[in-house]
Structure 1
Amino acid sequence: MIRLLEGIRVLECAMLPTGDQTSRLLGDLGADVIKIERPGTGDYLRELGDRITPQNSVFHLLCNRNKRSVELDLRGDDGRSIFFDLLRTADIFVDGFAGDACEKLGIGYAAQAEVKPDIIYCQASGFGTRGPYGQIPVHGYMMGAVAGQEQYEIDDEGVVRQVLNPQGQYFSGSIDGPLSTALYAGLTAVAALRHRDLTGEGAYIDAAGADAVLANQCLDAVMSWNADRVTDRRNPPPPVGMDPRKRPKYTWYRTKDDKIVLLAAIEHKFWDNFCRAVGREDLLDVKNTTFAVDFADGGRRDLLDELVPVFRERTAAEWVDIARRYDIPLSPANSKLDLLSDEHLRAREIVHDSVHPVAGPYTSTGWPAPVTGQPFDLRRPAPALGQHTEEVLAELGLSADEVAGLRKRGVV
């Protein structure tokens, strides 16, 4: 188990991946996460998307792992009283709702700070609270839309379509808005713990998905924003979707066993290593000697045609072995299913197998930054709605009869 945040308690009021993932990351690192849910309804992520069993969607099993679930009606005084009792035991509160929903419930940052001045209040939403979009409810693709992640075209029927791999974007891949938000929110919350320990001060964190998507595309963004200031355009990075013939040293090739590998030998030293490893010293001079990095063909327009048959001579496994032995930037280009058998990813335990007590076998991602001596595993599978209500309230000192009375009144 990763225990870096052991002893830290997180309260969560969230539905759907943005807030759920924020506290999940903290739980993966060892924090005790208590998910507070509306009685009878809870987080409808349990039913969103494909379900393995009822109330156990693939998303829920990931986003709500390492948490305890408590049903608590925050709309009444009794529920809020219990909430603030729990808050006194907490270090971080994760607000996964849009806008001022928690404030309207009487549990916003100002109300929490009165009860626990050093609380770290971490709101993780699509657009954040600061700015004119703050009250708009958000789903994942909206974060990318505001952040300029996609490009669009309009067909003859007036239908707007996303342009796949558009020219001019230097770094490819769709950015996951909710998870990006969670990463920045979680990192900032952990930094706030350090600040609290030094100063005794809490913090209000306003993490936004659109901001996070933009931050994850910062290299592409700065290329666009500073285009008019560039004075030397002789060696730009290749745009996504660029013709492989114009970037043969940094492109994909088919192997003998019909798999795909990605060659990225753009530094001169790596290109030289590649040429010697495959016995093609005649290609050593195919480089632009003006720059340390060369994305292009060095003036040899048939370079891609020379390399295609070279890659067909060996299997993907043989190419990876050559990359290791000769110090060449070259890797498999995996499909999602290939990931399950990739020896490197398996060795790093980022592909994690578990068994949920209701849903059964489940494969998900582990922790991407292993900690020596603390192998990643699940302390708690994703909970059923209210599964830990009695357990958590007992920790506050409530008796079984008192909890039964609260349940009878619909407070829990």
Structure 2
Amino acid sequence: MPRSRRDRGHQAPRTEERPMVDARSATTGCLAGVRILDLTQFEAGPSCTEALAWLGAEVVKVENPKGGDPGRTSFRSGPGQDSWYFLLFNANKKSITLNLKSPRGIALVNDLARKADVFVENFAPGAIERLGLGYDAIRKVNPGIIYAQVKGFGTGSPFEDNLAFDMIAQACGGIMSVSGERDGPPVKPGATLGDTGTGMLLAISVLGALYRRKGTGQGERLEIAMQDAMLHYIRVCFAAQATSGRPAERAGAKLASGGNPPCGIYPCKPGGPNDYVYIYTSRANPAHWHRLLQVIGREDLIGNPQYETGLARTEHEPQIDEMISAWTRQRDKNEAMRILGAAGIPAGAVLDTGELQNDPSFEKRGIMQTIQHPACGPFKMPAWPVRHDGAPPPVKPAPLLGEHTGDVLGAWLGLSADDVKGLRRDGVI
């Protein structure tokens, strides 16, 4: 589909059989009737609103008529197509286009906010206020609205006017300082904790605010800073600091709290980049260590005081790691996981994204679902991982730019088809 057509907000033919899901799925309806006005872009905000859409809310994404969410052109998959990145964070939403540099466009946002339950934005610092759509302005048109914001740095922070992305939040929020090998430099984890991790915390907070409003009728302002959110994910590291009196150290594949070998990633055959298995023995269950010794053929060490406690094993950690590695190198990671798991030992093969996407069990259970996108074709993506009454909610394709402009303005504001044509002619949508 030509880019220009989608930019003008024209609707494209859609098939009614878009989601292709092997597992039984069902609309949760948890948030049925909840209207969310979504002025977010890239990942932190969209991951929040996507979660709410999966739970049944009507999420209307407001986008610039000329290009839309910048995420649409990130990691582009092909000419005239939205990026896979965009598809992953905007499923189950509707898209409308409004020119926010137009007074009429701003007025329409206010009209939509009057009908909304939740307003979510993650613009650069000060941008939403300069548009005249800050909390005080929106609260005037809808005192009961829940107004949710994602910022890089919190209000009152010396850096509150700074821009931030996922990796900036991970650096300034402590994540990188505790990631990597003990004698190596800080490392950025592969997971986008700064973005999606922040979005999930905001989604939970929106749900709490909605529940509170049911009883009080009161709206409220929610603000989460990406830097602040990162502290939530390294609470164990603060416990380690309290114990040692020193900043938490990097521990590689070990635990930040330490003191409980064996615990780590062990090599498997044939020796590829992800041919490893993670093995853990809990300090709360000494039987894990005894079972592991039996599996690797070292029953002779059961009861040996040099290996019997976690503290004692710390003194012999290199020898223990080599014993286990000698066993794992003789097996592939899936075999190692099966044997260890069957013996009651916590273990997990290091699976890459290709293995996960092609694992039929995920698709059978609806954790991976295939959508049929009108421009990008079939695309398998992770769905909402929570099962509601035994089934996951279905995934619908991310919307084309402006695909639902006419529908939403008609349903929410009562505008006629002629009204919508006039707005398009005037460059408002």
TM-score normalized by structure 1? Answer: 0.84
In structure 2, the residue matched to 1:382 is 398
Alignment of 1:220-369 (within 5 A): 220-224=237-241, 227-228=244-245, 239-240=251-252, 249-258=262-271, 259-267=275-283, 268-285=286-303, 293=310, 296=313, 299=316, 302-342=319-359, 345-346=362-363, 348-369=365-386
Q: How far is the alpha carbon of 1:343 from its aligned partner?
A: 6.0
Give yes or no for contact 1:12–1:36 (8 Å, CA) kept in 2. Answer: yes
In structure 2, the residue matched to 1:371 is 388
In 1, distance between residues paired with 2:311 and 2:190? 26
Q: How far is the alpha carbon of 1:50 from its aligned partner?
A: 3.5
Alignment of 1:373-412 (within 5 A): 373-379=390-396, 381-395=397-411, 396-412=413-429
Per-residue CA deviation, residues 26-71 of structure 1 (Å, 9 max, x unaligned), is 1122211101112223212111123244341121111122111111
Q: How far is the alpha carbon of 1:125 from its aligned partner?
A: 2.3
Counting matched residue pairs gives 393
Q: How far is the alpha carbon of 1:7 from its aligned partner?
A: 1.6
In 2, distance between residues paired with 1:323 and 1:185? 38
In structure 1, the residue matched to 2:109 is 83
Query: What amino acid is the match of 2:92?
Result: N
Per-residue CA deviation, residues 344-368 of structure 1 (Å, 9 max, x unaligned), is 6556543332221110121222112
Higher mean Cα deviation, 261-270 or 165-174?
165-174
Alignment of 1:113-128 (within 5 A): 113-128=139-154
Return 5+ residue gaps in structure 1 as ranges. Answer: 153-162, 231-235
In 2, distance between residues paired with 1:196 and 1:335? 42
Compare relative contact order (CA 8 Å, sep 6+) and give the higher one, 1 or 2: 2
Q: How far is the alpha carbon of 1:295 from its aligned partner?
A: 8.8
Q: 1:65 aligns with which of 91, 96, 120?
A: 91
Identity, % of aligned positions: 30
In 1, distance between residues paired with 2:160 and 2:54? 29
Q: Secondary structure at the match of 2:251?
A: coil
Give yes or no for contact 2:173–2:228 (8 Å, CA) kept in 1. Answer: yes
In 2, distance between residues paired with 1:288 and 1:112? 66
Give yes or no for contact 1:254–1:260 (8 Å, CA) kept in 2. Answer: yes
Q: How far is the alpha carbon of 1:213 from its aligned partner?
A: 1.9
Q: 1:48 to 1:328 in 2, by over 3 A?
A: same
In structure 2, the residue matched to 1:160 is none
In 2, distance between residues paired with 1:62 and 1:287? 52
Higher mean Cα deviation, 93-102 or 132-141?
132-141
In structure 2, the residue matched to 1:211 is 228
Return 5+ residue gaps in structure 2 as ranges. Answer: 1-26
Q: Secondary structure at the match of 1:10?
A: strand
In 2, distance between residues paired with 1:238 and 1:290? 26
Alignment of 1:186-197 (within 5 A): 186-197=203-214
Higher mean Cα deviation, 186-195 or 73-82?
73-82
Q: 1:360 to 1:175 in 2, by over 3 A?
A: closer
Q: 1:165 aligns with which of 181, 184, 188?
A: 181
Per-residue CA deviation, residues 260-302 of structure 1 (Å, 9 max, x unaligned), is 21111244111112223444311323566885x5594564863
Q: Secondary structure at the match of 1:56?
A: coil
Q: Secondary structure at the match of 1:45?
A: helix
Give yes or no for contact 2:119–2:148 (8 Å, CA) kept in 1. Answer: yes
Query: What amino acid is the match of 1:253?
Result: Y
In 1, distance between residues paired with 2:345 and 2:186? 22
In 1, distance between residues paired with 2:165 and 2:70? 14
TM-score normalized by structure 2? Answer: 0.81
- Tell me if 1:108 matches 2:134: yes
